[in-house]
Structure 1
Amino acid sequence: MAVSVGKKDLSGLVDDRFGRCPYFMLCDSEDVEGTAEWKDNPALASTGGAGIAAGEFLDREKVKVLITGSLGPNALRVVQASGVSAFSAPGSMTVLESVRAWATGTLPAITAAGQAHAGER
């Protein structure tokens, strides 16, 4: 599982940006605290296509569940093509809260693209 985050801390907030989040927290959903691993988002400095590059990164990491704020059209297409189930969490929710909410089925699935953020940093 992966969560888009702004800092390397389970009590930090979910980053609502997918392609431009600074980090991804990767973990086993059964043991978040024991398996949390922080990865720099290699797409952060991209001049374009950050959502696509971030989606490809998560595919290489074999992520099957993603928690983020929203996904632009290109990111959604890449994430879905990789077989990743994406869920939306508000930016006011901590990383640990978001994983717990996902585990109880209270996070909504991302089934439609949000606004594209082409070139934004």
Structure 2
Amino acid sequence: MRALRPIWLMVPLLNMAQQILLKQSAIDADRAGGTWLIDILSSHWFLAAIGAEIVCFAIWMTVLSELDLSKAFPLSAISYVLIMGVAWIVFDEPLPLLRLAGSLLVLAGVWLIATASRPAG
């Protein structure tokens, strides 16, 4: 099993950043009125989200070249938990106990998948 490389942790962080930036561009465009598509496409939040996605894609391709897909993909699930936490802090979105418990289960599942060894043979 390959050891976790620190750069791989950028995948969930960049996924989280992209979603937060897209949310902010959607909020700004919603307030702007009927030209929402033009507002979104010209938003600095949207352009930053595109930049985050491009960097994330490059790192993700590296992850996929070095790990089995079944081990790599759960890494992206960490984003779900990060997004909920940041949305709670930045956008004051609710974070009920049941959602928090589910997030802990997601993290536990990611950890189990990441630390599982291959069967002999």
TM-score (norm 1): 0.27
- Which protein is bigger by CA-based radius of gyration? 2
TM-score (norm 2): 0.27
Higher helix share: 2
